[in-house]
Structure 1
Amino acid sequence: MRHRRAPRSWRFVALLCVVLPFCGAYAAAPGFGTARAGAVWGAALEFIAPRTLEPLGIPRMAVWGLSGITALDPDLTVQEQSGKLLLYGPNRIIFATAAPQPTDAMAWGDACAAVAARAFAVSPALERAGTEGVIRSFFDELFNHFDPYSRYEAPREAAQDRAMRLGHAGLGITLGREGSAVVVARVAPSSPADEAGIATGMVVLAIDGAATAGRHLAALQSRLRGPAGSSIALTVRPARSLPQTVRLTSGLVPTQTVFGSMNGDIAMLRVIGFDRDTGEQFAAALGALMAGNPAPKGIVIDLRGNRGGLLRQSALSVDTLLGQGTIIRTVGRDPVADRLWRAEGGDLARGLPVVILVDGATASAAEVFSASLSDNDRAVVVGSATLGKGLVQSVTSLPGGGELFVTWSRMIAPRGWPLQGLGVFPELCTSLGTNSLAAQIASLKAGRDMLAKPLAETRAARAPMPLAEVLALRDSCPASVGSSGYFKAAKALIDDPVAYRAALIHPLVAAAARGA
């Protein structure tokens, strides 16, 4: 095999390594943020070490991360040998430094940064990636050894993600027209406008003293925008009241994640995610639908495509339908990760039949919502097997504004089965075709459940589970997105108490739970 000649910079560094053992005096490239990388990696290793589901050790994780250097430049490798971290070029050592104590995360962060700085000095590929690219590559390679959900977010994307989770700055008012009048068309729950008593239907007469009459709606709406902390004087006229001026201060407006409507005599709740204010939005939307005249005869909760979000908000939403019982249990290596979530609220739906719609894209906190109400015999799940994301991430901010998401616990359904991999198996399956769906509904109307056996098997499953067993159980109702018949199936259950009860409570499932 013909050996490639080492670049001149590497030959020079190799010579230095003869004169200066371990190359300790070799200067790093001025463009690399050594202090920043060390602070970020050290804080990350310190956060990760006690929280992983299995003990990994800081040295092992550090070396995994440093393989990010190789990912950027295949001519460079890093190894830990005889108590030293060694940076190799082609057939030679470029740099070496003493490995810190195994439990000193910050020292390991600094050591990794020193190695990366030396690599940056000799590698055009690392120089092109820049400091942030090298930092990211460290985490990419580290998390290649983890689950799919642990990840690093750089400062800019972390800021965007936080904004999506928390909401945006504003007043929470959407304007509309009724004839020639400008009115409040919508008020976002928990927004500054909501907290100040602004309500839909109020006529908006002036904004900061300027009359709204004759102005374009878009221009008026833009007047309501401003950075957090800015204030606006809004002159409104409530129904059958005198005009009043209210000063509003722009603040956090939670993202709207819950949308309520009526479809005939059935209340529909669409939940697109579980963010900071979802629990409150869910309770408000459900309460408004229940207060309608006439009252609904049943409730359909649509979680199709819901990728999850905050576990606490899922639990709070369950709490509005479940008076008592276990919502979910989380189990991890860190004792702080072990938690039992129990219902402590009341059933705002007053026992009305509840049907939850799910599909193959329903995940995480949305799976918790479905599993909790199904296992507690409070709702029937209709659709296909869900995604099967049953791992919980702990989140921390890193120096410089990045964020780290690290899996630290598993979610266990009330009846003891794991959500991870298995997902939620529905009581009525829509992914087996229209003929199968019709046969299932007919069977339920006769008081029999065609899916009782696979339901019992999934509810009796316990972690850890072989992949083949997981796939065999999921094949009984394959995950799908976009299949039809969801609402028709839900309505058939709500309209027929015998069918609903047959889908809700399964003797085989109850027997499996008793034997667990």
Structure 2
Amino acid sequence: MTWRSVRACLLLAMLLAGLGLPSGASAQQGQGFQRQQVQIILREGLSAILERHLEPAAPSDLVLWSLRGLSAVDPGLAVQVQGGTLALSLQGRLLGERPLSGLLPAAAAQALADEQASRAAEMLLRFYIEAWNASATLQRAGANRMLQAGFDEIFNHLDPYSRYIDAEEAEAARQRRVGQSGLGFRLAAGQRGALVIAVLNPGSIAAQGGVREGDVLLAIDGVPVSSRRISQAAELLEGPSGSSVELTLRRGRQQLTLVLQRDSQGGQALRAEWSEGILWLHLRAFSTMTTEWIIEALNSAFSGPTPPRGVVLDLRGNRGGLLGQAMTVSDAFLTQGVIAQSAGRHPEARRVWEAGGHDLARGRPVVVLVDGRTASSAEIVAAALSDRARAVVVGSATLGKGLIQIVYPLANGAEVLVSWSRVLAPLGWPVQGLGIIPAVCTSLGADSLRGALQALSQGTSPMAPVLQRLRQARAPVPASEVAALRAQCPPAEGRPWDQEAARYLIDHPAAYQAAAGP
């Protein structure tokens, strides 16, 4: 499947969204099994997996796993493979059987993903129809529930983050990507692609500025918006604290324009504080404005007459966010070289991000705080600054989420999220599973931390052998090695002495240098 076919899927999904599969017993009864739409959904979902998933999958396995998933809806269903033939039964009664010939091995399926997905989808469709006709339980549950169960079982065998999202959840996820600008309202998809003010917080900036629930949002700063381009609307709604945004609205037959002033506090995910000559940057998430906020905070701090002695970037509890923002935030501290890499089976999954800016911290010591809740984009930043010896990481082992998903919309309004590449740190080791191992571990207790800081002040890094072993790891890393490395600094929530360790490192250049490495 090419990017052109992906775009075609998007158009197909929008065209068929209004004709989506019914869900629930009341909708399904009397309407039968919508064969054509189920086949489209199966074919497009399986094609995405075969072509782009990080690990190769055999089409025959996808068929087998999908059928086994139906037993989550009707436990009386059973699947067997014998002599290359797949058989489906209900309460011991054979419903159908088919040979798996014509389905290629995993290694060969990617090059013929569309053709193999079509074969597999056609086979699955016949089994689904036979199961539907024989099972009143499936008929009551509905075709959407069958698809959910089938894809759920497939993704159970692939990775922790690939998943099938039903139409209702997918729509909710799209809506969550808008209205998070601190203006005090939430948008929802209306009829014919409209974006409607669905929830308006009393006393909010939007409410005080004249926005009303039920208003249709036509444009943001003159740029037309619709529910079909929700991510664009989300980006347009966000902006620097104190800035203004122009909303073009339709209220009944009237069109009006309102200019709102964003809160000077902004509800920002970044909080910048000064303490004893140190700039503390508390970053809760990576949104569209994160890099701008980081740059503004650094430039403001270092343009004054007394610049900071050091910078602490606190990523504890940060679950990640936009991947691109992780790269640009890292670039704010680096002048050149690799920030991160991604690798996958599909050629388009392979990328290298490189720094090309200026170190806005001007060479001052940088300490990154992490804990067991730090994940995704936050881990990428910590890995980049640590591998490049630009920062010392303090805390505990992080979550270890280093897979990138691509989103495929389906004809029933649902989506499949397929993990298609893994993030590699600048030195080539995978973030997935391993997470970030700090140079200064705080999760082993205060006594252990005091001993580590004393050793660092004498030029010895207790974690150096562990970090060397980590940086030599290559995907796929055996589970035993992952467990052994993470046990050296077990994941834990942020500790009160994390900040003490950061302050100590900035106050003691020799200890900082020993922890940062060469």
TM-score range, shorter chain: 0.7 to 0.9
Can you give the 5+ residue segments of structure 1 that lack an aligned partner in the other structure? 1-27, 175-214, 234-244, 507-516
Q: For the residues of structure 2 that align with 1:376 and 1:232, how far apart are their CA atoms?
A: 40
Taking a change above 3 Å as real, the CA distance of residues 319 and 249 of structure 1, as seen in their structure-2 partners, is farther
The equivalences for 1:494-513 within 5 A come to 494-506=506-518
Taking a change above 3 Å as real, the CA distance of residues 85 and 465 of structure 1, as seen in their structure-2 partners, is closer
The structural deviation recorded for 1:285 is 3.7
Taking a change above 3 Å as real, the CA distance of residues 419 and 217 of structure 1, as seen in their structure-2 partners, is closer
Which residue is equivalent to 2:472?
460
Which residue is equivalent to 2:40?
39
State the superposition RMSD in angstroms. Answer: 3.3
The structural deviation recorded for 1:100 is 9.1
Which residue is equivalent to 2:248?
249
- Cα deviation, 1:100-121, whole Å, max 9, x if unaligned, reads 9533423533442343233223
Any conservation in 2 of the 1:231–1:247 contact (CA below 8 Å)? Answer: yes
Any conservation in 2 of the 1:120–1:126 contact (CA below 8 Å)? Answer: yes
Q: Secondary structure of 2:444's partner? A: coil
Any conservation in 1 of the 2:183–2:205 contact (CA below 8 Å)? Answer: no
Taking a change above 3 Å as real, the CA distance of residues 321 and 62 of structure 1, as seen in their structure-2 partners, is same
The structural deviation recorded for 1:264 is 4.1
Any conservation in 1 of the 2:370–2:494 contact (CA below 8 Å)? Answer: no
Write the letter of the residue equivalent to 1:167.
V
Write the letter of the residue equivalent to 2:178.
G
Q: For the residues of structure 1 that align with 2:102 and 2:46, how far apart are their CA atoms?
A: 13
How many residues align? The count is: 427
Which residue is equivalent to 2:158?
146
The structural deviation recorded for 1:388 is 1.8
Any conservation in 2 of the 1:385–1:477 contact (CA below 8 Å)? Answer: yes
Any conservation in 2 of the 1:375–1:415 contact (CA below 8 Å)? Answer: yes
Which residue is equivalent to 1:228?
217
Among 290, 307, 311, the alignment partner of 1:295 is: 307
Which residue is equivalent to 2:225?
none
Among 284, 291, 315, the alignment partner of 1:279 is: 291
Q: Secondary structure of 1:368's partner? A: helix
Write the letter of the residue equivalent to 2:44.
A
The structural deviation recorded for 1:274 is 2.6
Which residue is equivalent to 2:390?
378
Which residue is equivalent to 1:202?
none
Taking a change above 3 Å as real, the CA distance of residues 288 and 402 of structure 1, as seen in their structure-2 partners, is farther
Among 132, 143, 158, the alignment partner of 2:144 is: 132
Any conservation in 1 of the 2:270–2:293 contact (CA below 8 Å)? Answer: yes
Write the letter of the residue equivalent to 1:35.
Q
Taking a change above 3 Å as real, the CA distance of residues 96 and 424 of structure 1, as seen in their structure-2 partners, is same
Q: Secondary structure of 2:128's partner? A: helix
1:162 matched to 2:162: no
Q: Secondary structure of 1:120's partner? A: helix
Taking a change above 3 Å as real, the CA distance of residues 221 and 232 of structure 1, as seen in their structure-2 partners, is farther
Write the letter of the residue equivalent to 1:229.
L
Say which is worse superposed, 466-475 or 101-110, in terms of deviation. Answer: 101-110
Which residue is equivalent to 1:93?
94
Q: Secondary structure of 1:441's partner? A: helix
Taking a change above 3 Å as real, the CA distance of residues 114 and 276 of structure 1, as seen in their structure-2 partners, is farther
Q: For the residues of structure 1 that align with 2:246 and 2:346, how far apart are their CA atoms?
A: 47
Taking a change above 3 Å as real, the CA distance of residues 30 and 82 of structure 1, as seen in their structure-2 partners, is farther
The structural deviation recorded for 1:128 is 3.2
1:451 matched to 2:463: yes
The structural deviation recorded for 1:433 is 0.6
Any conservation in 2 of the 1:448–1:502 contact (CA below 8 Å)? Answer: yes
Taking a change above 3 Å as real, the CA distance of residues 248 and 263 of structure 1, as seen in their structure-2 partners, is farther
TM-score, with normalisation over the residues of structure 2? Answer: 0.74
Which residue is equivalent to 1:188?
none
Say which is worse superposed, 491-500 or 30-39, in terms of deviation. Answer: 30-39
Can you give the 5+ residue segments of structure 2 that lack an aligned partner in the other structure? 1-28, 104-114, 185-201, 223-243, 250-257
Taking a change above 3 Å as real, the CA distance of residues 117 and 270 of structure 1, as seen in their structure-2 partners, is farther
1:77 matched to 2:78: yes
The equivalences for 1:30-69 within 5 A come to 30-69=31-70
Among 402, 423, 432, the alignment partner of 2:414 is: 402
Any conservation in 2 of the 1:297–1:494 contact (CA below 8 Å)? Answer: yes
Give the share of equivalent positions with the same residue, in percent: 42
Which residue is equivalent to 2:193?
none
Say which is worse superposed, 410-419 or 31-40, in terms of deviation. Answer: 31-40
Q: For the residues of structure 2 that align with 1:246 and 1:380, how far apart are their CA atoms?
A: 39
Q: For the residues of structure 1 that align with 2:342 and 2:49, how far apart are their CA atoms?
A: 18
Which residue is equivalent to 2:497?
485
Any conservation in 2 of the 1:167–1:255 contact (CA below 8 Å)? Answer: no
- Cα deviation, 1:272-325, whole Å, max 9, x if unaligned, reads 223344333433343344445643222111111222233222111111111111
Any conservation in 1 of the 2:164–2:415 contact (CA below 8 Å)? Answer: yes
Which is bigger in relative contact order (C-alpha 8 A, separation at least 6)?
A: 2
The structural deviation recorded for 1:376 is 0.5
Any conservation in 1 of the 2:183–2:206 contact (CA below 8 Å)? Answer: no
